[in-house]
Structure 1
Amino acid sequence: MNSKSLIVKDLMNKSVATIVTKNINTASVFKKYKIDFSVHGNMLLTKACDKKKVNIKNIVNDLKAVNNKVYYLKDYNSWDLDFLIDFLVNIQHEYKEENILFLKEYGEKVAKIYGKEYKELLKVNRLIQKNADTILEHMKNEERTIFPYIKKLVEAKNKKIVVNISNSPLNSPIESIEDEHEKVSKIFKKICKLTNNYKIPENTCISYKVLYLKLQQFEELLSNHMHIENNILFPKAKKLEKSLLLDL
């Protein structure tokens, strides 16, 4: 078997999340084929392609064409957990909080101007308004419970100290957070479908264009954010907690 065949076989036997975890640049390929890598990323590439009726040869070629060089600033899988949490809170949460408020404002504004002509905007606006508060509360819950606990685990390991894990939030609360990820992901998939993949109609004002561009950017960041939490941060935190239990 030549090296090319080995690469193809290796990709086919990996889950979608594993591929993106190794190289975040591959996320753009999965977005292109509308394959979920953040919430249902545990699916093998072959199965994901079958489900979406995607020619696996095409996607493998695209994956191989992606720059294989992974820069540290995007290699989230190699970051320390406490540093990864700081990034999620100070960069991504801040971006999400600022932009979800922007989307609420512009969703309402554009729906009022164009809602009669483009009926889908009324549905899009309702989804934005409904989803916004959920996302904001979701981030607060992470910052209040999950993230501080994971930081305590990291500190316990580094300083070789005992940490109270009797009320660990890494079971039911994390499952609840992952369920919320799935609900939010479904809502944005609906928005994407309603907007015909964020296609901007002709002869519309700048507010309409800005809304669609912001929605698309927000969905892309959201997918990456959920991938980092579901497939990198949470599994590593559970593994760390388990290792501390064994050391007691």
Structure 2
Amino acid sequence: MTPDLQTKLGELVLERPETMRYFEGLGLDYCCGGHRSLGEACASAGLQTEAVLAGLATLEDPAAGTPSLQAWTQATLAALIGHIVPTHHDYLRRELPRLKGLLDKVQAAHGPRHPELERVGEIFAALYADLLPHLMKEEQILFPFIIRMERGEMGGACFGSVQSPIRVMEVEHEAVGVLLAELRQLTWAYTTPADGCATFRALYLGLEELERDLHLHITLENQILHPRARALEAALQA
């Protein structure tokens, strides 16, 4: 794909996964904002479109055999869900408590010299509080319904249509995206201060990896799972 200003961010990421880190460095939201065109996203972020297009042209192609996100558009929805849960949900359940421990130590040691850490802590607490119930709702409500629907089993859900829980999940994804954007800004793109200790560096590296994983996680759901589930329901009801 040769990108232009009308190409959607989500389409670029699905076709070329190497664009994810490039967009993250520019502060472009390709997961919750994957429906926006490149031109629209650049205008919103105050970026020069010519420079962004030139940067895209310099990205190296992935190594041979590197899986593309596009492959998930062909897999079964059950297989995609079977990837999301152990890869991304289980990661969050492991990583959030670990990062909380690091954050507590960093705030205690560096808080007086780095007042921004107070807001970093508030954002992290909001992510923690929002994400764990979100995972449970997906695993107990949305994902089982999608799997049953793929088997041809319709009905039996209190919400009537798959559109309803998807809308809720995507609103919650948007909220996470806003928090991540503020976190990146507050931490100067996860740059450890000059006086930061090894724990400080480990915290910011962990937060950056958390952002990267959440972006990919949300992309898989917003750009692939949800549209395919909507289309499947429409086909079954036709």
TM-score by length of 2: 0.90
Q: Look up the match of 1:186.
A: 178
Deviation at 1:43, TM superposition (A): 1.1
CA contact (8 A) 1:146 1:169 kept: no
CA contact (8 A) 1:146 1:170 kept: yes
CA contact (8 A) 1:81 1:151 kept: yes
Q: Distance in 1 between matches of 2:160 and 2:217?
A: 23
Q: Distance in 1 between matches of 2:22 and 2:187?
A: 21
Deviation at 1:183, TM superposition (A): 0.9
Other structure's SS at 1:118 match: coil
Q: Distance in 2 between matches of 1:74 and 1:228?
A: 8
Deviation at 1:77, TM superposition (A): 3.0
Q: Which has the higher helix share?
A: 1
Matched, 1:78 2:77: no
Q: Percent identity?
A: 25
Q: Look up the match of 1:42.
A: 35
CA contact (8 A) 2:32 2:222 kept: yes
Deviation at 1:99, TM superposition (A): 0.6
Q: Look up the match of 1:33.
A: 26
CA deviation vs aligned residue, 1:65-90 (integer Å, no higher than 9, x gap): 33445733644333321111111101
Q: Larger Rg: 1 or 2? A: 1
Matched, 1:239 2:235: no
CA contact (8 A) 1:120 1:194 kept: yes
Deviation at 1:54, TM superposition (A): 1.8
Matched, 1:126 2:118: no
Q: Look up the match of 1:227.
A: 219
Q: Distance in 2 between matches of 1:199 and 1:44?
A: 29
Q: Look up the match of 1:159.
A: none
Other structure's SS at 1:30 match: helix
Q: Distance in 2 between matches of 1:86 and 1:119?
A: 41
Other structure's SS at 1:72 match: coil
CA deviation vs aligned residue, 1:72-121 (integer Å, no higher than 9, x gap): 36443333211111111011111111111112222122111111111111
* Alignment RMSD: 2.0
Other structure's SS at 2:151 match: helix
Match of 2:204 among 204, 212, 219: 212
CA contact (8 A) 1:149 1:169 kept: no
Deviation at 1:53, TM superposition (A): 2.3
Q: Distance in 2 between matches of 1:175 and 1:52?
A: 25
Shift in CA distance, 142/169, structure 1 to aligned 2, threshold 3 Å: farther
Match of 1:13 among 6, 12, 20: 6
Structure 2 unaligned blocks of 5 or more = none
Aligned residues: 234
Q: Look up the match of 1:164.
A: 155
TM-score by length of 1: 0.87
Q: Which amino acid aligns with 1:79?
A: A
Q: Distance in 2 between matches of 1:25 and 1:153?
A: 33
CA contact (8 A) 2:27 2:181 kept: no
Q: Distance in 1 between matches of 2:137 and 2:146?
A: 13
Q: Which amino acid aligns with 1:97?
A: R
Q: Distance in 2 between matches of 1:144 and 1:169?
A: 16
